[in-house]
Structure 1
């Protein structure tokens, strides 16, 4: 019998199929008992004799993996692998799998929701109305504005399809171009990221977190943006320098931001929590019933395939 550790708290929350896949294949399953992201020491205590793990954003660095002597497969519940030491996993011959496409639509929907909420100041309006303040607030449009996508992978493309319904002009910067898709959907690739930052009314990030992309958006990049710009990040915390983000929002350098991912969650800079022009998510863009079911089923199938 193979021992499997499962850390995502939403695993099999709405459908028992992900769990049944594991049980039907003779797995002994240990679930995250903490109701939150696990610490390194907590992971070490659970995976010492595990054959496989289904992991969310819990830290699987070398220090943790060295203690998992029997581990054969890491099945990522999602697609981002910045919490996993891929190099060490490869050295050990530990397979690493992801669940591409399982949460694409959920994240794309949430991205659009953050754009609208930020542009139309829904936080501020809702707060005022609860205080019986019915005064009008002038906001900015999404319709026929320019959307800049930094990264045009599956989720970026899904956001672009939704933005077409707002008659938006769409720009994108990506090292890897899908010219056919761009041509079909009227997306214009730019030669530099700076072009997107200068021209776009809405800027949405859809990149993995790597050494090259860490703090990709900082003070210099915010300085290029329009004062009416809205920045959205549903990709990975760390793509944006959070000190620079606070300054840009606090001083009115940009209109607003919708941020679902932070370097630490909750964010280390608690001043961010006090800003009315920041709409905050709890890393929940992928948390819909369908996406959770899809991720769980695919993560379990990937794990069994490799075991």
Structure 2
């Protein structure tokens, strides 16, 4: 297409930041390009910085499929043509939703795409923590044939903080291995789900912490949930308790967690997330045998990645179509 002066009119651009999205470029990219958009990939092999996003998306980028890369207010203000943000996953704490709303930028997440994968990873961390599997494996590989005492999970109580899609999937799997399930979520109104699945509601977080053998976090990171697990809340937990976190690292005060684990105030913590990813070399938590950390792989399965790519693309194209209609 050319303008009256003969210059080719540039296509509107879509920025795609998640590294794993490229696994489906042969099937997904043609769908985006068929709608008249030029694709810009994140080819850095890592999460983009604010400055890098601004450098690419300040002009001409109308849509972004975003992973965990930062989209705070100052970035959104600089991306003057941006009309739609599609989250490749669920959590949207890396996006300033208030500023997006102010700038008339529509935002959607890929709901229902990774809840099974993250729930399965949480259960995997639960078994690893209960049976000290990573510690035992490391000892054996060093030539030490020493047994490490674990605990059974059958009959134990798991307390779930958060009853969204992932928390519910964890609850069902925990019931399947014979655990008692308690759930704290002041926003959950589905009493039938609790009754039908034999799940006990905790009216207060403190009640859940005091009565649970395992505490598993399944809630978003917000100003209200930052450092939900801290010195005070840890003090309410059993000394034998396990802590599982597959949500966000910022939910846990890591200094308080270190002190609790180092002094055996709680038994084990297993996380898939950290406040700074990757953690700095020599981080004190990484030196503890009773602290397990995986590299934010909860949603990183073939099935979940494929669903997230498909749904986040569909969401983006729907939002852009709506924005185009509104501008006509």
TM-score (norm 2): 0.91
Question: Which residue is 1:147 aligned to?
Answer: 158
Conserved 8 A contact 2:88-2:109? yes
**Aligned partners of 2:47, 2:288: CA distance in 1, in Å?**
26
Partner of 2:309: 296
Q: Say yes or no: does 1:25 pair with 2:35.
A: yes
Number of aligned residue pairs: give it: 307
- The answer to whether residue 235 in structure 2 is matched with residue 223 in structure 1 is yes
Deviations 1:231-287 (A, max 9, x none): 011111211111111111111111101111111112357111111111101111000
Equivalent position of 1:78 in the other structure: 89
The equivalent position to 1:240 in structure 2, one of 238, 249, 252, is 252
Helix, strand or coil at the partner of 1:20: helix
Partner of 1:306: 319
Q: Which residue of 2 aligns with 1:95?
A: 106
User: CA offset at residue 46 of structure 1?
Assistant: 1.0
Equivalent of 1:256, from 233, 247, 268?
A: 268
The alpha carbon displacement at 1:95 in A equals: 0.4
How far apart in 2 are the matches of 1:20 and 1:202? 46
2:49 pairs with 23, 36, 39, which one? Answer: 39
Matches within 5 A, 1:5-24: 5-14=15-24, 16-24=26-34
Aligned to 2:186: 175
Q: Per the alignment, in what secondary structure is the counterpart of residue 265 of structure 1?
A: coil
Instruction: Report the aligned-residue RMSD.
Output: 1.2
Unaligned runs of 5+ in 1: none
8 Å contact kept, 2:24–2:309: no
CA shift digits 1:52-109 (9 cap, x unpaired): 1000111100111111000000110011111101111000000001001100100000
> What 5-or-longer segments of structure 2 have no aligned partner?
1-10, 321-328
Query: 8 Å contact 2:245–2:270 — kept in the other structure?
Result: yes
- Runs of 4+ residues over 6 Å off in structure 1: none
SS of 2:38's equivalent in the other structure is strand
